[in-house]
Amino acid sequence: DFDFAQVMDRVQNVIQQIEPHDSAERYTRLGVECLQGEAKITSPYTVEINGQTLTTRSIIIAAGARPFVPPIPGLDEFPYLTSDNLWQLHTLPKRLIVLGGGPIGCELTQAFARLGSQVTQVEMLPRIMAREDEDAAALV
């Protein structure tokens, strides 16, 4: 048996330890120029961002993706969870529906099923892990 609240506290502690080492502020202190904005890579060495054209030997794309919340009518009337905020739970959900069959959706489905939740995963595409190799996705 385990204490779900302790598990989630541990996750929060790990996130807090990692966060300062994975930030634009840290990279700036290390001498990396971090720019935010909509960018377009125009050649292997050129990027257009915020009206500027930059030339460099190395380009790092750190998109900072956010969870996609599907436009389901009425969804905004309920306190739904995302991969950003579900780590703040202190009680294991008995049942959970995971919308999405990409890597994060599959990870969350597996994690909460292993913790004891009854999980249903919903994917719009014909199969989960649609961007991955079919043989690899079949293993999931």
Q: How many domains does the chain have?
A: 3
For residues 73 and 128, state if they share a domain: yes
Please name which of 79, 76, 119 lies closest in space to residue 100, comparing C-alpha atoms. Answer: 119
For residues 70 and 20, state if they share a domain: no
For residues 56 and 83, state if they share a domain: no
- Write the pLDDT tens digit of every residue in 55-104: 988 888 887 778 989 899 999 999 999 999 999 999 999 999 999 999 99
For residues 72 and 116, state if they share a domain: yes
- Write the pLDDT tens digit of every residue in 4-50: 999 999 999 999 999 888 888 888 999 988 888 889 999 999 999 99
For residues 102 and 47, state if they share a domain: no
Residue 126 near residue 133, CB atoms below 8 Å: no
DSSP per-residue codes, 7-33: HHHHHHHHHHHHGGGSSHHHHHHTT--
Q: Which domain holds residue 24?
A: 1-32
Phi and psi torsions of 105, nearest 5°: -60, -40
Element (H, E) at 41: strand 39-43
Q: Report DSSP state, residue 97.
A: E
CATH of the domain at 71: 3.50.50.60
Say how far apart CA 106 and CA 139 lie, in whole Å.
Answer: 12
Measured from the Cβ of residue 137, the count of other Cβ atoms closer than 10 Å reads: 15
For residues 6 and 25, state if they share a domain: yes
pLDDT of residue 122: 95
Which of 11, 46, 63 is the last residue in one of the domains? Answer: 63
For residues 119 and 74, state if they share a domain: yes
Say how far apart CA 53 and CA 35 lie, in whole Å.
Answer: 12
pLDDT of residue 136: 84
Say how far apart CA 121 and CA 34 lie, in whole Å.
Answer: 37
For residues 81 and 130, state if they share a domain: yes
For residues 106 and 52, state if they share a domain: no
Give the pTM: 0.74
For residues 46 and 88, state if they share a domain: no
For residues 112 and 102, state if they share a domain: yes
For residues 108 and 44, state if they share a domain: no
